[in-house]
Structure 1
Amino acid sequence: MSNLERQAVPSLCGGRGFVVAEPVRELLSPRRVKLGESTEVRRLLPNLGRRMVGAWCFVDHYGPDDIADRSGMQVAPHPHLGLQTVSWLHDGEVLHRDSLGSLQTIRPHELGLMTSGRAISHSEESPRPHARYLHGAQLWVALPDAHRDAEPHFQHHADLPAVTAPGLTATVILGGLDGAASPGTTYTPIVGADLALASGAEARLPLDPDFEYAVLSMSGEAYVDGVPVLPGSMLYLGCGRTELPLRAGTDAGLMLLGGEPFEEELVMWWNFVGRSQQDIEEARKAWMEGDRFGEVHGYDGDRLPAPELPPVVLKPRGRVR
């Protein structure tokens, strides 16, 4: 998934200074962003005052959109650096192509995981023909310094483990939860899980007190630790929790995101996660000159040009207490 904003603003993030060491209930409202020709997303991370949750550094929620008579998602080839992309759907399909030659249709409750490492490019589109509705989330995970220059690769996992309780099914997308572990490759202690709650269900989800957590509402009426969380919003929960109370007023879908607070200081600009101004400048130059990121074959259209760099020096910094 690309950040398609033409006036891309740098995000300075990472470090432990702004991590809340105790449980909190901080409701994050989305910012609406146009994505491609016909898709509008609700951007939850980075957010004003909250840039990361563990290694999760970018969260977009979109849909459900009726695209029966539209082209749906159309995101032209674009680059990524220093991160993993996670594609997660509740409705519809997304056709993924990348510069490694991968060609994969991702369907609901299947994991599409792309590790950019030192450089990769990809496109995403609704296939032709496609389902009537499109609903999902696109997320990024920052790679730690030891792995940010790794070989790029793409993984698709249609069969994911689940944790169940009365009225609750928690599908483990990434990392581990209550003894169940996703087959997706991870590089930091992390968890991502899809929570399906039946109407009237009440459950307590076990958590790791060393992780910080947030919950994204995908659909329905749900209460997270007593707080109503509407679809398209996200509740930041801080650290220090051993369990999370959940209650559903209707059938509801949530995403649990968490991980150890990310210690390293980052610069995130456009579709790149780096450590310095030089990292970002070199990546942008390489993309614009057709170097380093490879080529995506088969997409019907031109690739995305990079926006202009802002007239400020991009310096990494931690979160200040």
Structure 2
Amino acid sequence: MNKVEVLTPRDVPLGGPRAMTVRRTLPQRTRSLIGAWCFADHYGPDDVAETGGMDVAPHPHTGLQTVSWLFSGEIEHRDSLGSHAFVRPGELNLMTGGHGIAHTEVSTPRTTILHGVQLWVALPGEHRDAPRDFQHHEPAPLHLDGAELRVFLGTLAGRTSPVRTFTPLLGAEILLPPGTALTLPVDPGFEHGLLVDTGDVTLSGTPLKPAELGYAAPGPDHLTLANPSDTPARTVLLGGPPFEEEIVMWWNFIGRSHEEVARAREDWMAELGGPRFGEVEGYAGAPLPAPELPSVPLKARGRGR
């Protein structure tokens, strides 16, 4: 049995002046990617009456897809493609920001507890300038050996998501009642990550605590998830074939070189809603300015560093 690597999160402020704190497990020093998954933020449960909720002004993205998945609450999404949608529990919003897109994320007034994950997928080099796109999908629950699964990307346990991606991916929420053990057939060419939201679970025998992410290298044709406790557990399973390209990821941009990312920053600051990124209609507030680039060139990173 392959050893499971345990990745612990760090707290990061998100969203500019009205920042909310998130727990980030990807990227980190020891691992930058799991498949094409390059970014994982885990937040809540936050009482918005105390924290103010989420209010992220117009900001840009390049070279990636954003994956929004909620456990509770509701977020209003607007982007420069003209999309106006809501992120709700059990519903997937996937936005493609290849050459450039801008969007906003605001928790709605009817939200009391905000709780979910924000994930990014790196686009392969040949598609990193893909046109803007937005997809919404509500996966039906799948009940298996006492567990409940919602497969929002890729294929798992015979259920396939219709959502288009640029590399093979797996994304699924898995609920494990107390005392449940679930063995899932998986693609042995995939590497996998299991993010624990609530409860203490094991991944192929390795204990994982809430907010930790367990990494399993390619090789096994099955994964075993277990909840040995007397309380329910919720997890998110991510996967994909190893992403062999090196990427430069800084702020909201993904490129292949320091110069590519610097140009994206320059374009955003010069335009703040111009032709490359477009304008977001319906948000009452100014776009977020990009931070200053570091004084040394940005370095490319691969999946294992």
Given the two structures, how large is their TM-score scaled by the length of structure 2? 0.93
Identity of aligned residues (%): 53
Q: Which moved more, 1:235-244 or 1:112-121?
A: 235-244
Q: Deviation per CA, 1:69-94, whole angstroms, max 9, x where unpaired?
A: 55310111100000000000000001
- Alignment partners' CA distance in 1, 2:75 and 2:303: 35
1:38 to 1:315, Cα distance in 2 relative to 1, 3 A: closer
Letter in 2 for 1:96: H
Alpha-carbon distance between aligned partners in 2 of 1:130 and 1:38, rounded to the nearest angstrom: 20
Tell me if structure 2 keeps the 8 A contact 1:161–1:181. no
Contact 1:162 1:180 in 2 (8 A): no
Aligned counterparts of 1:225 and 1:305: Cα–Cα separation in 2: 44
**1:301 has 2:285 as partner:** yes
2:150 matched to which residue of 1? 171
Distance 1:201 1:133 in 2: 27
- What corresponds to 1:65 in structure 2? 46
Partner of 2:57: 76
Task: Report if the CA contact (8 A) 1:33-1:40 is conserved.
Answer: yes
- Aligned partner of 1:254 in structure 2 is 235
Shift of 1:264: 1.1
Give the distance between the partners of 1:320 and 1:297, measured in 2 at CA: 39
Q: Deviations over 1:134-190 (max 9, x none)?
A: 1000000000112111111111112x1444312112211111113321121111111
Match of residue 273 from structure 1 = 254
- Which among 110, 132, 146 is matched to residue 152 of structure 1? 132
The 1:200–1:319 alpha-carbon spacing in structure 2 relative to 1, beyond 3 Å, is closer
Instruction: State how far apart, in whole Å, the 2-side matches of 1:130 and 1:319 are.
Output: 39
Once residues 304 and 173 of structure 2 are traced to their aligned partners in structure 1, the CA distance between those partners, rounded to angstroms, is 31
Candidates 97, 102, 105, aligned match of 1:116: 97
Aligned residue identity for 2:281: H
**2:89 & 2:12 partners in 1: Cα distance?**
23
**2:204 is the alignment partner of 1:225:** yes
Determine the C-alpha separation between the residues in 2 that align with 1:163 and 1:205: 13
Q: Is the 8 A contact 1:79 1:293 kept in 2?
A: yes
1:237 pairs with 216, 225, 239, which one?
A: 216
Q: For residues 287 and 121 of structure 2, what CA distance do their matches in structure 1 show? A: 23
Taking the TM superposition and a 5 Å limit, the aligned residue runs for 1:23-34 are: 23-34=2-13
Cα distance in 2 for residues equivalent to 1:226 and 1:284? 44
- Inter-partner Cα distance in structure 1 for 2:132 and 2:198: 33
- Answer whether contact 2:31 2:303 (CA < 8 A) is retained: no
Q: Secondary structure at the match of 1:68?
A: helix
Q: Once the two structures are superposed, what CA deviation does each residue of 1:266-286 show, in whole Å capped at 9, x if it has no partner?
A: 111111110112211110011
Partner in structure 1 of residue 182 of structure 2? 203
Q: Which residue of 1 aligns with 2:123?
A: 143
Residue 41 of structure 1 pairs with residue 36 of structure 2: no
Q: Residues 310-321 of structure 1: matches in 2 within 5 Å?
A: 310-318=294-302
Q: Distance in 2 between matches of 1:104 and 1:80?
A: 18
Q: Is this contact kept in 2: 1:161–1:180, CA < 8 A?
A: no
Alignment correspondent of 1:87: 68
Deviates more, 1:143-152 or 1:311-320: 311-320
**Unmatched 5+ stretches in structure 2:** none
Classify 1:251/1:187 alpha carbon distance in 2 versus 1 (closer, same or farther; 3 Å): same
Greater RCO structure (CA 8 Å; 6+ sep): 1
| Contact map agreement 1:68 1:131 (CA 8 A) in 2 | no
Deviates more, 1:227-236 or 1:187-196: 227-236
Specify the code of the residue in structure 1 equivalent to 2:134: F
Post-superposition, which runs of at least 4 consecutive aligned residues in structure 1 deviate over 2 A?
Answer: 68-71, 161-164, 314-321
1:102 equivalent in alignment to 2:83: yes
Q: Contact 2:242–2:303 (CA<8 Å) still a contact in 1?
A: no
Return the offset for 1:38: 5.0
Count of residues in Structure 1 that have an aligned counterpart in Structure 2? 298
Q: Deviations over 1:211-254 (max 9, x none)?
A: 01110001123222222212111111111111111111221100
Please give the root-mean-square deviation of Cα atoms over the aligned residues, in Å.
Answer: 1.6
